Amino acid sequence: MSRLIVVSNRVAPTQEGRPAAGGLAIGVLDALKETGGLWFGWSGEIVTQSDGPAIEKQGNVTYATVGLTRRDYDQYYRGFSNATLWPTFHYRTDLSRYDRQEYAGYLRVNIALATQLKALLRPDDIIWVHDYHLLPFGRALRDLGVTNPIGFFLHIPFPVPEMLRAVPPHAELVHAMCSYDVLGFQTQTDSQAFIDYIERGGFGSVSSEGMVHAFGRLLKVGAYPIGIYPDAVAKAAEQFSDRKSVAELREAAGGRKLIMSVDRLDYSKGLVERFQAFERLLADVPHWQGKVSLVQIAPPTRSDVQTYQRIRQTLEGEAGRINGRFAQLDWTPIQYLNRKYERNVLMALFRLSQVGYVTPLRDGMNLVAKEYVASQDPADPGVLVLSQFAGAAEQLPGALVVNPFDLSQMADALACALSMPLNERKARHADMMARLRANDLSTWRDAFLDDLRHVAAAASVTRRAVELADKSLDVPIPFRYPVNRPARELHRS
């Protein structure tokens, strides 16, 4: 069995018990612990000089981590990844900015990381690269002569072509993405957006089996919706129900209903609109004043990116304003907690609440939605209110699906969820649990890796046929640019 190499921008904290707030870290770590293998990426540290990777083995997972210099961090991570790609891929071109130097840094870091990984590779390794920080990483490996199977999974949405074109080097990035053997997206919508870009731009064609032939490469493009382990989540939610913070919230609620939201503090998560829709519920249906609280847990992330500082200020302002408008001496409408919690405690908090309120403006999947469902007591489950723009909405039809830009509709959905009869709650929950079990985290991992092995094997047969014939055949063969060719020239070919 070949060794699995996982590559992601950030390698999750290697110490057990340290919280890793972020869907990618949660998903990848759980998947890797089962198969074993090597996880390569940034250590999270800023260093004065970038040395070789630090290697640490824990159980069957080896962690290989590297530091980034301040310049690398500013250009690659804070700049092009999080100030250009993240907002645009979440349809926020208004928050996106582009800086050519930052893009150069993004390419430089991708090439430097690929060079460091290459030294650790064995011939039969299978490489799985994750997320938007590393779009050209496979290209960089290919340029270094790596012929191993390389797949890529995008955790965030892939925008429609018109949106993607707002990123100036869009063609170069898509060209680089075609160096992978398999390109995985969260949903059919995302996968189709990529295919639309290829077809409408005249860059290639797509077969009925989802094989894309573009830029001289043949690759599989498809949807691989990430899952969770619902039964493990259910167990944790039950077991951690007697924890101090859970007991405190139960006591503070004093029999009132609870609406629960948990998100990284990010403008894509729709927190402001969510608060305002809750405000509308209280204003339109005064019956709920004093009878329900919204608990929003929002651990800060990327706090050194300016747009994240702004969303934090706006949100604090909105929470204060709404609380000022409705609070009573013994009731605070919105409890806004700007901190991290232990993961299992979060699951227990989900179980305690009557409504899971998950309304991102755009989200690749949204694991919180899935965790909320899995945490519920099947005998008395809460109701999920879910944005139509979360990938999870394609998979959880038992949720009350809302448009997060329609505050009235969200307020109506909250009212409906808060008073939904037990039978209906149970039926919706049972349906969603069955779906979560049928498409859990191992389904996601295995479907992707099976396709990667299959496609890479087929590509190697094609390559070998070409070598044997010793001439250029009219078949799609993986192409490679000469080593050291600057990545910024790729699109000119």
Query: Which range touches ligand GDG (CB under 6 A), out of 29-37, 321-329, 363-371, 485-493?
Result: 363-371
Residue 179: name the closest of 144, 151, 208, 207 by CA. Answer: 151
Assess contact for 488 and 184: CB atoms under 8 A: no
Residue 364 lies near ligand GDG (rule: CB under 6 A): yes
Residue 390 CA to residue 411 CA, distance in Å, equals 18
**Which is closer to ligand GDG, CB of 268 or CB of 354?**
268
The type of residue at 19 is P
Query: Which range touches ligand GDG (CB under 6 A), out of 62-70, 118-126, 173-181, 340-348?
Result: 340-348
Return the ∠ at Cα 436 (arms to 223 and 184), rounded to 5°.
Answer: 15
76: left (phi > 0), else alpha (psi -120 to 50), else beta?
A: alpha
Residue 126 lies near ligand GDG (rule: CB under 6 A): no
Q: How far is the CB of 295 from ligand GDG (least distance, A)?
A: 12
Q: What is the dihedral of CA 242, 245, 246, 249, to 10 degrees?
A: 140
Q: How far is the CB of 326 from ligand GDG (least distance, A)?
A: 26
Residue 30 CA to residue 98 CA, distance in Å, equals 35
Q: Find the binder of ligand GDG among 5, 6, 368, 411 (CB under 6 A).
A: 368
Please pick, among 72, 125, 143, 363, the residue that the annotation labels catalytic: 363
Assess contact for 293 and 258: CB atoms under 8 A: yes
Q: What is the dihedral of CA 189, 370, 254, 277, to 10 degrees?
A: 0
Q: Which of residues 155-184 bind ligand GDG (CB under 6 A)?
A: 155-156
Site string for ligand GDG, 293-312 (x = CB under 6 A): ----x-x-------------
Query: Which range touches ligand GDG (CB under 6 A), out of 38-46, 48-56, 109-117, 357-365?
Result: 357-365
Residue 233: name the closest of 367, 394, 36, 356 by CA. Answer: 367
Residue 370: name the closest of 394, 396, 402 by CA. Answer: 396
Q: How far is the CB of 353 from ligand GDG (least distance, A)?
A: 14
Q: Find the binder of ligand GDG among 195, 262, 281, 418 (CB under 6 A).
A: 262
Q: How far is the CB of 487 from ligand GDG (least distance, A)?
A: 26
**What is the C-alpha end-to-end distance of the chain, expressed in Å?**
37
Residue 65 CA to residue 48 CA, distance in Å, equals 15
Residue 367 lies near ligand GDG (rule: CB under 6 A): yes
Residue 363 lies near ligand GDG (rule: CB under 6 A): yes
**Which is closer to ligand GDG, CB of 349 or CB of 414?**
349
Query: Which range touches ligand GDG (CB under 6 A), out of 9-17, 115-123, 242-250, 339-347?
Result: 339-347
Residue 455 lies near ligand GDG (rule: CB under 6 A): no
Neighbours of 61 (CB within 10 A): 20
Active site residue 155: yes
Residue 351 lies near ligand GDG (rule: CB under 6 A): no
Containing 462, the helix (H) or strand (E) segment is helix 441-469
Total of chain residues touching ligand GDG, rule CB under 6 A: 26
Residue 275 CA to residue 427 CA, distance in Å, equals 28
Q: How far is the CB of 19 from ligand GDG (least distance, A)?
A: 3
Active site residue 266: no
Place of tokens 């894309």: 212
**Which is closer to ligand GDG, CB of 155 or CB of 175?**
155
Assess contact for 212 and 221: CB atoms under 8 A: yes
Residue 79 lies near ligand GDG (rule: CB under 6 A): no
The site for ligand GDG (CB under 6 A) is made up of 19, 21-24, 26-27, 155-156, 226, 262, 264, 297, 299, 340-343, 346, 363-368, 371
Residues tagged active-site: 155, 363
